[in-house]
Homo-oligomer: A and B are copies of this chain.
């Protein structure tokens, strides 16, 4: 049996990315009901909002689901408390050190996967005692590693340093992408972008429509003097690009970024003033689908491609 399925109790080794502003109970429960692992994106939630989403998600599915918890969040402590209080069984931690929270969760019987962007970090995850590791390549949307290692290079590097169940993320939104990740040594995949653009995603329709019309090259990794972030072309991205081209400092970029921009862009659909984040793989998709349809397509294409390649 596939170790990712075994660990999480899912039918397929496909985990939905816990993207901010996209991943509420509707999306997470739909993915879990479709045989994957749905994740609630706590990064855009207060503790009480997360509690509400956990409860609704549990009403909407009897399959396993989890919470994505960015550790850089100021409210991490409160969110972690809610996770434990509400009996969530699976946590994906990211954007911070795996040392900080892994023991806390594991003592409470919560399964912990940590998201890393380098094999050095994968080794740290293993030391910290996590149950599984996700490695996320340069092509992924939103916050991204400083080393810019792509999924093609990162997965085999990670595979060399860990015996833990390994998931690949970044650039994977199809069955063929999933097969490629497995060929590189992953045992499962985390799919963000494609699920962010489904009907059940809480992202704004404006945002989804824009992302479903992107061409290659329409996202760019910027803000490297702050935290590298993959942005979608548009007014805000142009402003950042121009500022960076003339050598803007971290402080200037911080001021330009301001606060609440990703909410404005992704959740409220302000494509001009908002910050828009999506992965490179978006350019492969043109239709808004439901999460179950996406899962079915991924799994069918994966099985077809597997049969084809083994001939």
CB distance from A307 to the nearest CB of B (A): 8
Distance of A310 from chain B, by nearest CB (Å): 3
When distances are taken between beta carbons in the complex, the residues of chain B under 8 Å from A283 are 153, 157
Specify which of A156, A216, A284 lies most central, judged by the most chain B CB atoms within 10 Å of its CB: A216
Interface size class of chain A, counting residues whose CB lies under 8 Å from the partner chain: 35 or more
List which A118-172 residues lie within 8 A (CB) of chain B. 118-120, 137-139, 146-154, 156-157, 160, 170-172
CB of A93 to closest CB in B, whole Å? 21
Considering the complex, give the chain B residue whose CB is closest to the CB of A159. Answer: B176
Contact between chains at B216 and A149 (CB < 8 Å): yes
* Contacting residue for A149 out of B120, B280, B310, CB 8 A: B280
**Nearest-neighbor residue (CB-CB) of A305 within chain B:** B183
Determine if A80 is an interface residue (Cβ-Cβ < 8 Å). Answer: no
Within the complex, which residue of B139, B176, B280 is in contact with A183, where a contact is CB–CB below 8 Å? Answer: B176
A281 to B152, CA, bound (A): 8
User: From residue 98 to 122 of chain A, which have CB atoms closer than 8 A to chain B?
Assistant: 118-120
- What residues on B are CB-neighbors of A19 within 8 Å? none
* Complex alpha-carbon distance, A225 and B305, angstroms: 40
Q: Chain B residues near A174 (CB, 8 Å)?
A: 156
CB neighbours (8 Å) of A172 from chain B are 152
Q: Contacts A118-B217, A216-B119, A310-B310; is A152 near B170 (CB within 8 Å)?
A: yes
Q: Does A66 contact B (CB under 8 A)?
A: no
Q: In the docked arrangement, what's the CA distance between A193 and B280, Å?
A: 24
Q: Which residue of B lies closest to A219 (CB)?
A: B148
Can you name 15 A-B pairs with beta carbons within 8 Å?
Answer: A120-B216, A137-B152, A138-B139, A139-B150, A139-B153, A147-B216, A148-B221, A149-B217, A152-B172, A157-B216, A176-B185, A180-B180, A183-B183, A246-B247, A309-B309
Give the 8 A-B CB pairs with smallest separation, nearest first.
Answer: A247-B247, A147-B217, A310-B310, A152-B171, A180-B180, A179-B183, A150-B150, A180-B183
- Chain A residues with CB under 8 Å of chain B are 118-120, 137-139, 146-154, 156-157, 160, 170-172, 174, 176-177, 179-185, 215-217, 220-221, 225, 244-248, 280-281, 283-284, 305-307, 309-310
